[in-house]
Structure 1
């Protein structure tokens, strides 16, 4: 094909097209719709397996249990075929992570306050929940931290540990993945600044640094990561917002380029993508803030070769397309905004 395949998850009803497949043209960054699939309500987070044959999505039901859906991917055009669904065993599932050996899925239920481990069958379907772990506690923000709110999880580079970012209790909770037992074993907790509200995490390609985006105080925390015992040492906290901003903001998503030289974070309220340079020690220095091309950039994605960045602007119902300067990391708006209902997650297939 003449372009890259991307998937977009959106806040939609079950009878509406929730996941849409687009082609991003290599010669200018225009987006062309290929197909879509209905039958899953609010597919707010998507993840892909390594060889791009399976896609997993959460269905974010805010009140009752949601579910996890597994799809087979057509290698020619990216079309999806539903394989199966499993209950999320908690309300508002907002994130799903596939372990490096593709044996397990980890799902975080934001409103349910729990973390759920699922086996992945040989055919790519999701098995029944193997373990449900309830988090407890609260933070100083009574409006957002009245109880535990696990928001995301990430596998360690060596595939031995899972770290869960819990926005409600201001902690990064470490678990060891016991593959034989099919369980997550509690290992340790890393406390973050009170009221920070950790949301999403990303490892540096060298495996020795972890970056945590804090939603509530709009900061990025940088940690040295020791793989031997999954320990974190805080080395920097930097604002994701310009000093002059006086409005209300919640930071949302964070990504690194594949070379590890540049880091990006999205701001909802300021409606921007913050661009940072990463030095040899892993510390961040601000390069620029770029308008996200719409309102409420909940999620964004970098192409595997770092040539493009796509921002999903939930409340303006649009996706903005940027090219990425390979030497400076700066973003150039290609002015190819695409209209789509409430986009909240973007994933590159190719």
Structure 2
């Protein structure tokens, strides 16, 4: 956090499509509105970002053929590069997270997950310590002819790393040993589902997997004690079958666990689900405020949506009774791809 306690949001973008790189924006404490304060463009296509727990470092993938990960210090208003980008020994990294003293990247193009160690000061080691290459395929051609890891993140207990693979219709659970990812279990989802992203319920008992190739969410039971995922049911993200490919993208769970939100790019909508035990009930859909909502995030009752093709970030206030988003504003960010927001009270 910079500027006397002011919170910021950081926005990723595709520089190959005219994006400005990693964008910093001030967050209005009254209503969550964003005001862009600057950007840094030293890395190509920083499409996904994550913050360190202490809020002092920001990490970004470089979603290019020769994929890389980069680190930034965020103690000033605009992020500052903290060392050179580090190759991930994989292509097209689309997501990253922090796990057990490492940055993990999900590499869509090569169908792999990479671990890059972190130094004590939060900077990246000079090279990756391990790459886990997925195996398998699915029935949807051409999207599932090979593995396509799309997301990787720790589970709520911090014991496991969970990776979602669109190409193999599966979710893998791993651990780290001496810097290398070690497979633990693989859970198969419905063939052709094309899982893209997963979000955990705050209780740690459930996980929600959104499909890109099938416009639905799979509700799973998660057991953090032994690292197992069990699919339970599916919920459609739209009230009626879409006239064209829908391509759902992001999934977010409310901090209190009452609602789940899903963005769908082909329809330019946000779907709202009420959590009812081991199932989801579709409450309704609202326009996303732009075109091609690639990712969404929730922070202090505000839902932020990165609309890639319309080049903006839209924010919504959330109805506490229904979970329905109410559009409150937007800011222009060409080729926007994701938004992360500093936690309240973060003080680097």
**TM-score over 0.5 (shorter chain):** yes
Give the whole-Å Cα distance in 2 for the aligned partners of 1:338 and 1:156: 32
Query: Is the counterpart of residue 19 in structure 1 residue 25 in structure 2?
Result: no
Residue 207 of structure 1: CA displacement? Answer: 0.8
Aligned to 2:89: 89
Give the whole-Å Cα distance in 1 for the aligned partners of 2:24 and 2:316: 19
Q: Is the CA contact 1:13–1:40 (under 8 Å) kept in the aligned structure 2? A: no
Aligned to 2:229: 232
Going from structure 1 to structure 2, the CA distance change for 1:271 and 1:126 (only over 3 Å counts) comes to same
- 5+ residue gaps in structure 1? none
Deviations 1:147-181 (A, max 9, x none): 11010112122211111101001111111233xx2
Give the whole-Å Cα distance in 2 for the aligned partners of 1:328 and 1:2: 32
Aligned to 1:217: 214
Aligned to 1:50: 53
Aligned to 1:37: 40
Residue 215 of structure 1: CA displacement? Answer: 0.9
Q: Is the CA contact 1:2–1:26 (under 8 Å) kept in the aligned structure 2? A: no
- 5+ residue gaps in structure 2? 344-348
Give the whole-Å Cα distance in 1 for the aligned partners of 2:18 and 2:230: 47
Query: Is the counterpart of residue 317 in structure 1 residue 311 in structure 2?
Result: yes
Residue 27 of structure 1: CA displacement? Answer: 3.1
Residue 183 of structure 1: CA displacement? Answer: 2.0
Superposed CA RMSD in Å reads 1.7
1:339 to 311, 332, 336: 332
Q: Is the CA contact 2:96–2:153 (under 8 Å) kept in the aligned structure 1? A: no
Give the whole-Å Cα distance in 2 for the aligned partners of 1:15 and 1:243: 35
How many residues align? The count is: 338
Going from structure 1 to structure 2, the CA distance change for 1:174 and 1:36 (only over 3 Å counts) comes to same
Runs (4 or more) in structure 1 with deviation over 6 Å come to none
Going from structure 1 to structure 2, the CA distance change for 1:28 and 1:205 (only over 3 Å counts) comes to closer
Going from structure 1 to structure 2, the CA distance change for 1:211 and 1:78 (only over 3 Å counts) comes to farther
Give the whole-Å Cα distance in 2 for the aligned partners of 1:192 and 1:151: 15
Aligned to 1:262: 259
Q: Higher relative contact order by CA 8 Å / sep ≥ 6: 1 or 2?
A: 2
Residue 28 of structure 1: CA displacement? Answer: 4.0
2:107 to 99, 109, 119: 109
Give the whole-Å Cα distance in 2 for the aligned partners of 1:251 and 1:244: 13
Residue 186 of structure 1: CA displacement? Answer: 1.1
Q: TM-score, normalised by structure 1?
A: 0.92
Give the whole-Å Cα distance in 2 for the aligned partners of 1:177 and 1:238: 33
Give the whole-Å Cα distance in 1 for the aligned partners of 2:176 and 2:292: 35
Going from structure 1 to structure 2, the CA distance change for 1:58 and 1:264 (only over 3 Å counts) comes to same
Give the whole-Å Cα distance in 2 for the aligned partners of 1:4 and 1:274: 27
Query: Is the counterpart of residue 291 in structure 1 residue 287 in structure 2?
Result: yes
Give the whole-Å Cα distance in 2 for the aligned partners of 1:57 and 1:116: 14
Residue 5 of structure 1: CA displacement? Answer: 1.0
Q: Which moved more, 1:133-142 or 1:186-195?
A: 133-142
Q: Is the CA contact 2:216–2:237 (under 8 Å) kept in the aligned structure 1? A: yes
Deviations 1:161-216 (A, max 9, x none): 111101001111111233xx222211111000101011111111111111111111
